Structure 1
Amino acid sequence: MSVLGLLTPDAAALAGAVLVALVLDVLFGEPPARLHPVVAMGHYLEAVGRRVSRAAGAVPRPGVEFWQGALGWCSGAALVAALAWAAGWAMQTLDPLVHAVLLGALLKPMLSWRMLRDEVRAVEAALAESLEAGRQRVSWLVSRDVTALSETQVREAAVSTLAENLNDSVVAPLFWFAVAGLPGAALYRFANTADAMWGYHGVRSGRDWTWAGRWAARVDDVMSWVPARLTAAMIMLPSWWRSWPSVVANARLTPSPNGGWPMGALAVGLGIRLVKPQVYALNAQGRAPTAADTQRALDRCARVVGMLALLSLWVLLWSWGIRR
C-alpha cells in the first residue's frame, strides 16, 4: 500500500485504516507496554545504544562512533520495515473490510493523539494544584531541568510539546503511511524514537551521543521536514495565508529545522509567546499563555486531527464511488 493507492480503489483500505487507527486511539489510548511496538523499538535502541555510544569522559572516536550509530540505526530500521511489510503483505488477500480494520489496528501504535492530549491536560490540572505539582508533571513531557520554571514557563513548555508532538505523534506517521503504507509509518516511528533516545549533542544518562547519535538525528530531520510544514499549515487553517509569513519567520528561530514550524504556528495562531530560555522565543510580542490558552491550543490541535479523519473519510467514500 503506497501513495499510489490513492489513485485506485485500493485507497479504501488506506483511508479505512486511518479512520480505524484514529478511533482506536481516541477510545482506548495506548496498548499495554508489553504489546506496544514502539516500546519494543525503545528496548532495541537502549540495548544497541550502550554499544554504539561512548561513556562520558572517554576518548572520542568521531568516525567510529558515527558509523557504529549509523549501522545500529539501519539494522533496527531494516528489521522494523521488514516486519511491517510482512504484516501488510499477509493481509492483502483478506476481505477489504477485515483488511482495513486489521491494518488500522497495526497502525494505531504508530500514532498517539489521546495520550498527548491527556498529558497536556494533566499539566494544566497540576498547575491548578500548585506550581511544584505543575513542574513535576511537565517533567514527564520535556527533558530540560524544570526545578526553576515559573507557572508561565511550565505552561509554555507544555504547549510547545503539544505543538511539536502533534507532528511527531500524529501528522508525520500518517503522512508516511500515505507514502509507504505500514512500513512507512513504522519506519518513521522508529526514526523519531531513535532521535528522542540518541539525538543528543552531548552527554545523556552517562553516555556521550555527540557522534553516535548524529545519524539518527539527521534522518529524523529529513523524515519530519514535509510533515512539520503540513502540520503548521493545518494549525493555521483557515486563515493561513494572512499569518504564514510570521509562521515562517518564527520557525527559523529554533535550532531544530522542523520543531519551530508547528510551535510557531500555534504561537502565532493563538497570539501567545512560547519561550525556551536561552534557546528560542516564538512570537515574542505575544502575551503569556494562560490556562484558557492551553485549552485553546488543545482545541486547535484536535481540529487538525479531525481534519485528518475527515480527509480519510472523503477518500474512503470517493474510493467506494469508483468501485460502484
Structure 2
Amino acid sequence: MRMGWIDAAGMAAGAAVDALVGDPRRFHPVAGFGQAATALERLLYAPDRRDGAIFTGIAVGAPVAIAVIAQKATARRPWARFVLVTAATWAVLGGTTLRREATVMADALESGDLDAARARLSHLCGRDPRELAAPELARATVESVAENTSDAVVAPLFWGAVAGLPGLIGYRAVNTLDAMVGHRSARYERFGTAAARADDIANLVPSRLTAVLTAAFAPVVGGGSRRTWQTWRRDGSKHPSPNSGQCEAAFAGALDLRLGGKNVYFGRSETRPVLGDGTVPVASDARRAATLSAAVGLGALALAVAWRGARRR
C-alpha cells in the first residue's frame, strides 16, 4: 500500500480521536515542547533578532528532524507509520477543545454570568476581560474561533497533507513558538521576530484556505457563500495581521456580524478595523461560530486526506 494513504488514514484517525476526546488533559506533547522551548530560551535569550533566529531554528529544527527520521524509519512499516501519524495529528489539532470553550462561553453569556465568562476568556485569547461587557466577550469569542480554526485545525492539516509527519510537527512547533515569543513586548520585540515571521509564512496559505472553506460552508449557519466571499475579499487585508484578518473577515460575512474594534490587553490596547457589515455579536453567535468551525474543519480534513492519499510516499 502506498504510504500516502497510510498518512491519510492516520490523519483521519487522529482527527477522529480529537473529535471524541479533545486535547489530552495531562502530558500534552505540545506542553512538553513548550517547556523544552522555555529551557532553550533561557540558554539563548538576548534582545536581538539574530539570537531569536537561532532559537527559532533550533526549537523548530530539532522536532522536525526527529519527525523526518521517524518518517523514514517507518517507510516500510505501515502500521507503525499509521500509529505515529494518528498520535501526531491528535496532538497538533485543537478544534474540539476550541469549540468546547466557545460553547462554555456561550452558556455563560446566555445565563448572564459575566464573571464566569470573563474568567473563561483566557482559554480563548489574551485580552483583559475585567471591563468587558457581554457584546465584547461574544466578539472576542467569535474572533478567537475564527483565527484558531485556521491555527488549530486547517493549518496543521494543510501541512500534514503537504509534508506528512514533519509537516504536522513542524507547523505546531512554529505556531507554539509564535504564541510564546512572537508577541510585541519589551522582552520579545526583537527576540521574537523570527518566530513571528515564521508563523506568518506558515499560515499564509492555510488562512486563505480557511476563508474559502468558510464561504463554502456558510449556509450551514444560515449565511450566504457569496456574501462571505465578498466580505472576505473586501475586509480580509484590513487587519494588521496578514492572516488573522482573512479568517475573521470570512467569519464576519458568514455569520452576518460586525467584528473588530478596541481590544484591551494587559498593559496595552489596540484598535482593529471593522470587519463585516452585520450586527454586534451576541451569545448565540459564539455557538454559531463553533458550528461553522466544525464544518470548516471537516472540509479541511477531507481535502487533506485526499491530497495526502494521492502521494506515493
The TM-score normalised by the length of structure 2 is: 0.87
Aligned to 2:172: 189
Partner SS, residue 260 of structure 2: strand
Q: CA deviation at 1:245?
A: 3.4
> Once superposed, what is the RMSD of the aligned Cα atoms?
2.3
1:113 matched to 2:105: no
Partner of 2:267: none
Structure 1 residue 89 corresponds to structure 2 residue 91: no
Separation in 2, partners of 1:293, 1:199:
29
Q: Select which of 252, 259, 263 maps to 1:267.
A: 252
SS of residue paired to 2:203: helix
- Secondary structure of residue in 2 paired with 1:279: strand
**Contact kept in structure 1, 2:237 and 2:245, CA below 8 Å:** yes
Aligned length: 297
- How far has the Cα of 1:288 moved from its partner? 1.2
Rounded to whole Å, the distance in 1 between the matches of 2:72 and 2:274 is 45
Match of 1:132 in 2: 115
Partner in structure 2 of residue 57 of structure 1: none
TM-score, with length taken from structure 1? 0.84
In the alignment, the residues of structure 1 paired with residue 301 and residue 177 of structure 2 have an alpha-carbon distance, to the nearest angstrom, of 28
Q: Give the secondary-structure state (helix, strand or coil) at the position aligned to 1:41.
A: helix
Where does residue 31 of structure 2 map in the other structure? 39
Identity percentage of aligned residues: 33
Whether the aligned pair in 2 keeps the contact of 1:20 and 1:101 (CA below 8 Å) is: no
Q: 1:315 and 1:249 mapped to 2: Cα distance? A: 30
Question: Which of 215, 233, 250 in structure 1 is aligned with 2:212?
Answer: 233
Aligned 8 A contact 2:252 2:276 in 1? no
Which segments of 5 or more consecutive residues in structure 1 lack a partner in the other structure?
A: 1-7, 55-60
- Equivalence for 1:287: 279
4+ residue stretches of structure 1 with deviation over 6 A?
none
In the alignment, the residues of structure 1 paired with residue 57 and residue 160 of structure 2 have an alpha-carbon distance, to the nearest angstrom, of: 19
CA apart distance, 1:285? 2.9
CA distance in structure 1 between the partners assigned to 2:96 and 2:307 by the alignment: 24
Give the conservation status (yes or no) of the 8 Å contact 1:272–1:286: yes
1:263-283 C-alpha deviation (Å, 9 max, x unpaired):
110011110112240421433
Counterpart of 1:154 in structure 2 is 137
Partner Cα separation in structure 1 for residue 202 and residue 39 of structure 2: 24
* CA contact 2:98–2:124 (8 Å) conserved in 1: no
Q: Distance in 2 between matches of 1:288 and 1:224?
A: 28
Q: Which runs of 5+ in 2 are unaligned?
A: 218-223, 263-269
Match of 2:292 among 297, 300, 305: 300
Q: Which amino acid aligns with 1:13?
A: I
Q: Give the Å deviation of 1:23.
A: 0.5
Counterpart-to-counterpart distance in 2, 1:100 and 1:180 = 15
1:283 to 1:72, Cα distance in 2 relative to 1, 3 A:
closer
CA distance in 1, matches of 2:285, 2:292: 10
Deviations 1:225-275 (A, max 9, x none): 000000011011056455423212221221111001111100111101122
